[in-house]
Structure 1
Amino acid sequence: MPTKAHPRYELTLFMFLLAIVAVLGFSPRSRVDWALENLLVLLLVGTLLAVYRQFRLSAASLTLVFVFLCVHELGSHYTYSLVPYDRWCSAMTGFSFNKTFGLHRNHYDRLVHLSYGLLLVYPIREVLLRLTPLRGFWLFFVTLNIMLSTSAVYELVEWVGGAYLGDDTSQAFVGAQNDPWDSQKDMALAVLGAFISLLVVALHSAVRQPLMPTACRKKWNQRG
């Protein structure tokens, strides 16, 4: 079973997250969009704090959640459509993603959705592993479907928000950038990221099992 994070490490991540939210919350490009995006952060962190005494995530899962929230916070400061990642890359390395790959839109939102699958599927898998009897293929399948379902719910939230917010705030929150297939692409990237991470976990388990003594291997198989 994954090792629980040390309380000091948990506190360190929490304090760093508060600092990042505070810094990136200073003079965001759109205060309304920043507030809306951070409702999701508040919900996730609030849930982790609410169940802390009954259920604590491993250090690996907490680290992945922290990294994803940092990526998300950067997007909430600039809005997903306007994060100047290409300008930063060009200034530091002289390399331009947009020019090199012929990109005509800001793809930071795509990165965040890919990161959602890559980074958060492991914590979801851990929760299922510890709270349900799911193992093997069904653990893989249900975890992947949860990532797809939650990604779809987020796209529905964007749709509802876009329908009732003002034009500027709506464009900042939805971030479609005139792409009619934006929602489908975002969900596909989330599932792709989740699939890659689950595949890495499965390969890691497959490599480790032959190296284990028989007794340890049986316990490992029972854990999933």
Structure 2
Amino acid sequence: MIDYQLQAKHWLMLVLLGLAMLLASINPMEFSAYVLHQVGTILMLIVLLLLFKKVGLNFSSFVFYLIFLLIHILGAHYLYSYVPYNEWLEWLLAVTLSPEAAENYNGQQGDVWDAHKDMLLATLGAILAGSWNLYKDRKKALD
């Protein structure tokens, strides 16, 4: 169902986002950069509210937009390049997997070129997909 008016569930999510922003404001890594990033967060929140009233959103879209803003708030606090996502993922896997499975997962990360290989494969995949789409578009234009 598409909503055009903020309901209690929307206000609750906005209060939680505001609380996250308040907590992220406590001792950020670099305050001036944090404030600059948060200006973008506030502008995007204004865009969300304007679109919500004009176009309407269902609740799940509203929540996903706020999750994106929450990730942005977290990145602003840690200056993006220092966000400990990878450490959190490894910790989560270590506490949820069996000790053997966690060791196998962490043991696979011993390859110093692993990230480079991943990026190479992602780049090659993007080039291949882009080339295929370009080929199909040109073929369609000629027909």
Q: Does TM, scored on the shorter chain, surpass 0.5?
A: yes
Corresponding letter in the other structure for 1:48: L
- Note the residue ranges of structure 1 that are not aligned, 5 or more in a row: 107-184, 189-224
* TM-score w.r.t. length of structure 1: 0.40
- The whole-number CA distance in structure 2 between the counterparts of 1:93 and 1:70 is 22
Is residue 79 of structure 1 aligned with residue 79 of structure 2? Answer: yes
Aligned to 2:60: 60
- The whole-number CA distance in structure 2 between the counterparts of 1:48 and 1:84 is 27
- The whole-number CA distance in structure 2 between the counterparts of 1:93 and 1:67 is 22
Match of 1:89, SS state, is: helix
Match of 1:14, SS state, is: helix
- Percent identity between the aligned chains? 21
Larger Rg: 2
* CA deviation vs aligned residue, 1:160-179 (integer Å, no higher than 9, x gap): xxxxxxxxxxxxxxxxxxxx
Higher relative contact order (Cα pairs below 8 Å, separated by 6+ residues)? 2
* CA deviation vs aligned residue, 1:141-196 (integer Å, no higher than 9, x gap): xxxxxxxxxxxxxxxxxxxxxxxxxxxxxxxxxxxxxxxxxxxx8xx7xxxxxxxx
Aligned to 1:182: none
Aligned to 2:28: 28
* CA deviation vs aligned residue, 1:21-77 (integer Å, no higher than 9, x gap): 111111111112211211211111112334554333221210110111111111111
- The whole-number CA distance in structure 2 between the counterparts of 1:21 and 1:15 is 10
Check the 8 A contact 2:3/2:52 in 1, yes or no.
no
| Alpha-carbon offset, residue 100 of structure 1 | 1.8
**1:68-217 → structure 2 map (5 Å cutoff):** 68-94=68-94, 100=109, 102=111
Moved over 2 A (4+): 47-56, 85-97, 101-104
Aligned to 2:2: 3
Check the 8 A contact 2:17/2:66 in 1, yes or no.
yes
Check the 8 A contact 2:2/2:58 in 1, yes or no.
yes
Aligned to 1:115: none
- Note the residue ranges of structure 2 that are not aligned, 5 or more in a row: 95-101, 116-122, 127-143
Corresponding letter in the other structure for 1:59: F
| Alpha-carbon offset, residue 82 of structure 1 | 0.7
| Alpha-carbon offset, residue 101 of structure 1 | 7.3
- The whole-number CA distance in structure 2 between the counterparts of 1:62 and 1:14 is 10
* TM-score w.r.t. length of structure 2: 0.59
- The whole-number CA distance in structure 2 between the counterparts of 1:10 and 1:37 is 23
- The whole-number CA distance in structure 2 between the counterparts of 1:27 and 1:90 is 25
Aligned to 1:13: 13
Quick one: structure 1 residues 52 and 32, their matched pair in 2 at CA, closer, same or farther if it must change by over 3 Å?
Answer: same
Corresponding letter in the other structure for 1:61: S
- The whole-number CA distance in structure 1 between the counterparts of 2:33 and 2:112 is 25
| Alpha-carbon offset, residue 89 of structure 1 | 3.2
Number of residue pairs matched? 106
- The whole-number CA distance in structure 1 between the counterparts of 2:71 and 2:3 is 24
Corresponding letter in the other structure for 1:4: D
